[in-house]
Structure 1
């Protein structure tokens, strides 16, 4: 059920993101005054020095359980409570308007460098706004903290097992898993992942795009958004203007995929994109509501019930909500953060990779082969070139990702299982 719910939510979020991003980038949609209002509202987000977005399911646990009943798939009480309480927040800030933030060119064809004035934050919160995980980047430093016990409690499990899981970890990592900030250098971690030339540091130089292709893509997106989207002003809701944006979901997805196809020659990673819309996207119109407050973007809501084939004749609503803000506080580096080395981080990731695939998370059953993985920082058997070729054949992972997972303690079968989960 969890995987199905996650996939459904992902499809809905993708629909909302595609529409929002397209409108913000294309700002010339003029066929209706309602469309002009929406386009202007998205453009305003870039005029400020900060921006935030918060994604959540706008329903109680009881409403989520009732939705499961209406669609013929029972949602357990604990799962419903978890979904109702979770929210995902993203924020960015800079010392200048966000529309003026531009990446600088990397040396010798390397990937573009992020504007040093740009800071970002990613946070997952649970019941009552309790912090479950937060990641910040300020300049060249990244900061993270997590509440592992909170995660465990969210699923209805015994949080006391957390002490056993973390007992043998370094003190700084134990602190990070119990809500204390740790700091690390993202570049150092990247170098550790590609020290032998196969990971991120040894990846091929970033490809350059033919300007004609990017201009053609922009033109195609404008045409698609003008032709596939319709806008209707629905008056006011709770004091905010409500505009409904409707599109034929399958056609919109197909048109967007076709628009990106010319880029696959210069961007190999895009070759994994399907040629046609996934079957999860229904072949019918889908709508989302855009809420404006004084002309500024307030929220976007999408009713997940629209995606359900098994819904009753009058399905219960299950709104997915993205709340926006353009005056969020500037993102600051937390004080008193303990510094982690790249070895600490790789060991931590290896620990959770082991736990995710059934091995003893503390390494008691680790041997680097078979179905388990190594303990913290312990390597699995190196992959052969043939295994790497097979693992990347499906398009869900590239070689750099596969080799880094192997360094983190995941063996061939583990990575194969992970690739299957993402297909």
Structure 2
């Protein structure tokens, strides 16, 4: 239950933040002071050369246990402590304002690339545990990726025997084993694509697959619809100062907002195939009542967003809050390549992926599995073309998943979720 609530809350908080950002062009709502503050706060995004965000549960272990008891799902002490301690941070930096960065396409590939794929943008992803100790770190700087993990630390976090899991690193090449013990390794992300054989997503001949494009008139109509929805569905209330920051509460009727947004994007399904998979009406799991999230502004810039998961659980009473928090940083230190990283060869990466596929049992799916405990069957050019068609994944990601033991259907399911 708590994991389901967390997933729903993440989507709600993210959508609320993005939707509020659209108010910059909404003249009617601009007349309201609270909405005006929010509008200007979102205008600051992208002005700087760096940006960071940190996601965490803003509650003590005791509060998390109480929430579980109130909602009928017992959360043991170790799990509550782990959930209270863990956080996920992301950071991006560039040598120019981030709003000037445009996603680039890899040469010879029709699949979309994430902003971090641009060599001029450095990115960092960090999962931390108790005391801020890093459990997993990934960085991408100058077209090269860096990684390290703390397998023993992760085991301790979830209440497992660290000595037992450390044995998983034995038998791996020295560099890979050390990477699971906290030492940095590096590798060229382009090398992942070369392990699969073909060089493009276009199938035979390497022809590029065109990305879906919107009719300009359809995009204009969508923009007008979103402005109308934001004007009528969202309400803003200035709650004054809290800890030196402006607190503004954004409230919206969850079911109505969901249905209005679905209606707004429905006409685009003919141009963007993945949108055809969206439901025609709001899912029954979306609460038919108002939901609220709090925005905190520091010096006019967005400092944090909080959303109380208890709003999603009817059994949770007023005394059992469980706030999810996203803290934002502006003009943060630039992401740097770690010193002393050991470079991995392509064969080392292939060996690791083979070990993972073997250990995981090889979920082959419709693409075909190589048998219990074996890797999935290699993807064909046509399958790769299909999986990268909508831009939810690029070729490197598809080949990585396939090498880890996922078959065509498994990867397709992941792509559908990302869409």
TM over 0.5: yes
Could you tell me which residue of structure 1 aligns to residue 342 of structure 2? 338
Asked if structure 2 preserves the Cα contact closer than 8 Å seen for 1:299 and 1:322, the reply is yes
1:87 aligns with 2:87: yes
Q: Deviations over 1:165-193 (max 9, x none)?
A: 12111112112211111112222213435
1:152 partner SS = helix
1:156 aligns with 2:159: yes
Mapped to 2, the partners of 1:49 and 1:422 lie a distance apart of 27
Match of 2:144 among 137, 141, 144: 141
Could you tell me which residue of structure 1 aligns to residue 366 of structure 2? none
Could you tell me which residue of structure 1 aligns to residue 404 of structure 2? 408
Match of 1:176 among 162, 176, 179: 179
Give TM-score scaled by structure 1 length.
0.83
Could you tell me which residue of structure 2 aligns to residue 288 of structure 1? 293
1:125 aligns with 2:128: yes
Q: Residues 108 and 162 (structure 1 numbering): CA distance in 2 closer, same or farther, change over 3 Å?
A: closer
Alignment of 1:175-194 (within 5 A): 175-193=178-196
Mapped to 1, the partners of 2:46 and 2:416 lie a distance apart of 38
Mapped to 2, the partners of 1:311 and 1:207 lie a distance apart of 43
Asked if structure 1 preserves the Cα contact closer than 8 Å seen for 2:55 and 2:324, the reply is yes
Q: Residues 149 and 76 (structure 1 numbering): CA distance in 2 closer, same or farther, change over 3 Å?
A: same
Could you tell me which residue of structure 1 aligns to residue 325 of structure 2? 321
Asked if structure 1 preserves the Cα contact closer than 8 Å seen for 2:109 and 2:200, the reply is no
Alignment of 1:382-393 (within 5 A): none
Q: Residues 57 and 343 (structure 1 numbering): CA distance in 2 closer, same or farther, change over 3 Å?
A: same
Match of 2:211 among 203, 206, 211: 206
1:45 partner SS = coil
**Stretch deviating more after TM superposition (89-98 or 191-200):** 191-200
Q: Residues 345 and 16 (structure 1 numbering): CA distance in 2 closer, same or farther, change over 3 Å?
A: same
| Structure 1 unmatched runs, 5+ | 360-367
Q: Residues 319 and 202 (structure 1 numbering): CA distance in 2 closer, same or farther, change over 3 Å?
A: farther
Could you tell me which residue of structure 2 aligns to residue 365 of structure 1? none
1:259 aligns with 2:256: no
Match of 1:304 among 301, 306, 309: 309
Q: How far apart are 1:282 and its partner, in Å?
A: 1.0
**Stretch deviating more after TM superposition (15-24 or 302-311):** 15-24
Mapped to 2, the partners of 1:399 and 1:54 lie a distance apart of 26
1:136 partner SS = strand
Match of 1:230 among 213, 226, 235: 235
1:22 aligns with 2:25: no
Asked if structure 2 preserves the Cα contact closer than 8 Å seen for 1:195 and 1:202, the reply is no
Alignment of 1:350-361 (within 5 A): 350-356=354-360
2:195 partner SS = helix
Alignment of 1:364-383 (within 5 A): 369-370=370-371, 372-374=372-374, 379-381=375-377
Mapped to 1, the partners of 2:197 and 2:24 lie a distance apart of 40
Alignment of 1:71-86 (within 5 A): 71-86=71-86
Q: What is the number of residues matched between the two proteins?
A: 401
Give TM-score scaled by structure 2 length.
0.84
Mapped to 2, the partners of 1:101 and 1:383 lie a distance apart of 33
Q: How far apart are 1:5 and its partner, in Å?
A: 2.2
Q: Residues 354 and 417 (structure 1 numbering): CA distance in 2 closer, same or farther, change over 3 Å?
A: farther
Q: Deviations over 1:19-71 (max 9, x none)?
A: 21233345224142101101111111221111111110001111100111111
Q: Residues 140 and 68 (structure 1 numbering): CA distance in 2 closer, same or farther, change over 3 Å?
A: same
**Stretch deviating more after TM superposition (136-145 or 212-221):** 212-221
Q: Deviations over 1:329-377 (max 9, x none)?
A: 0111111211223443344344344444599xxxxxxxx644x332xxx
2:53 partner SS = strand
Mapped to 2, the partners of 1:242 and 1:92 lie a distance apart of 26
Could you tell me which residue of structure 2 aligns to residue 276 of structure 1? 281
Q: Residues 162 and 42 (structure 1 numbering): CA distance in 2 closer, same or farther, change over 3 Å?
A: same
Q: How far apart are 1:292 and its partner, in Å?
A: 1.1
Could you tell me which residue of structure 2 aligns to residue 243 of structure 1? 248
**Stretch deviating more after TM superposition (44-53 or 20-29):** 20-29
**Stretch deviating more after TM superposition (408-417 or 175-184):** 408-417
Cα root mean square deviation, aligned:
3.5
